[in-house]
């Protein structure tokens, strides 16, 4: 098995519930995402959240993004921040509630400003990241070349294919500098060739920084499992009204993480069957 260590908690949900009046949508949701460290590799985290329609995936997505507040419980993230110690500055871990803007959110429709060129939109995103001060153009060129959109920088969103719009949306969030990316149905409506490019792109993103964490909400269970290290299953149990997390599957322990030859693996197929049985 590949050598790895799970270290600090990067994001944690504790007792999260969401109700509208007397109707409970989510109930007592608990989970955590930890920093995965692999020797000699910048290894980020890729987590998938799966569940049948009507289980509250979209609502949990909004709670994680900070766009909506839970009725009960908390969602916190931990980040490394500089702190003065004696005569020097060191990085320390600090925990705080998630807020809107903490996470890069990539919705299924890949919304873009139709009156701005791709480059203008990317510049707007890059200027929001203090770490890129004076280096915005260089960063845009690097990402555009890496994700194969250098030839469309002067075009408008309406001139792009769906795959190109998706790549632009992902680059926008990367330029903003967030360590967390939330992706809503990133595999939806893609043909097999584009699907392979998108999964490879997401894997590249996850390897760009040790703390980079992708949280994928998807109905495409096979593709989500194929690129994830952990799967959380949202469903219902006998504990009461509303959905909760009914299963966490550690794909690393099963030898299914960080591999490209999974599709015919018996353990992979058994895992897909296990997930479907929970839905």
Tens digit of each residue's pLDDT (9 = 90 or more) over 226-256:
999 999 999 998 878 899 999 999 999 999 9
| Angle separating helix axes 118-126 and 162-176, nearest 10 degrees | 20
Contact 219, 188 (CB under 8 A): yes
pLDDT of residue 99: 92
pTM of the predicted model as reported, rounded to 2 decimal places: 0.87
Least confident segment among 26-40, 72-86, 114-128, 141-155: 72-86
Which residue, of 127, 156, 177, is where some domain finishes? 177
CA-to-CA dists, residue 150 to 79, 118, 164, 197, angstroms? 32, 10, 11, 16
Long-range contacts of 65-71 (CB under 8 A, 24+ apart): 65/98, 65/100, 65/102, 65/103, 65/105, 65/182, 66/98, 66/99, 66/100, 66/101, 66/102, 66/103, 67/100, 67/105, 68/18, 70/16, 70/17, 70/18, 70/26, 71/17, 71/18, 71/19
Does the pLDDT value for residue 87 go beyond 80? no
Residue 173's domain comprises 112-177
Pair 161, 187 in one domain: no
Instruction: Assess whether 63 and 186 both reside in one domain.
Output: yes
Among 154, 177, 200, the domain boundary falls at 177
For residues 173 and 183, membership in a common domain is answered with no
Q: Which two tokens stand for residue 146?
A: 């890496």
Same domain, residue pair 98 and 136: no
Residue 44 shares a structural domain with residue 142: no
Q: Count structural domains, the chain.
A: 2
């Amino acid at each position: 098995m590949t050598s790895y260590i799970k270290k600090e908690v990067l994001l944690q949900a504790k007792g999260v519930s969401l109700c509208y009046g007397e109707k409970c949508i989510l109930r007592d949701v608990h989970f955590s995402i930890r920093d995965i460290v692999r020797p000699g590799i910048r290894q980020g985290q890729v987590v998938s959240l799966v569940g049948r329609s009507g289980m509250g995936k979209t609502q949990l997505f909004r709670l994680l993004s900070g766009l909506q507040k839970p009725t009960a419980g908390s969602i916190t993230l931990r980040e490394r921040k500089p702190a003065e110690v004696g005569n020097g500055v060191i990085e320390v871990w600090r925990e705080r509630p998630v807020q809107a803007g903490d996470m890069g959110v990539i919705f299924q429709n890949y919304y873009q400003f139709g009156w701005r060129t791709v480059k203008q939109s990317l510049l707007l995103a890059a200027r929001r990241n203090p770490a890129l001060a004076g280096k915005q153009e260089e960063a845009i060129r690097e990402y555009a070349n890496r994700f194969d959109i250098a030839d469309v920088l002067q075009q408008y969103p309406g001139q792009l294919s769906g795959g190109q719009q998706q790549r632009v949306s992902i680059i926008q969030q990367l330029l903003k500098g967030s360590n967390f990316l939330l992706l809503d149905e990133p595999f939806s409506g893609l043909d097999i060739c584009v699907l392979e490019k998108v999964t490879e792109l997401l894997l590249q993103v996850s390897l760009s920084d040790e703390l980079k964490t992708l949280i994928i909400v998807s109905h495409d269970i096979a593709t989500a499992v194929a690129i994830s290290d952990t799967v959380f299953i949202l469903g219902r149990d006998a504990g009461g009204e509303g959905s909760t997390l009914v299963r966490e599957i550690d794909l690393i322990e099963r030898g299914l993480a960080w591999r490209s030859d999974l599709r015919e693996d018996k353990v992979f197929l058994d895992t897909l069957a296990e997930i479907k049985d929970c839905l």
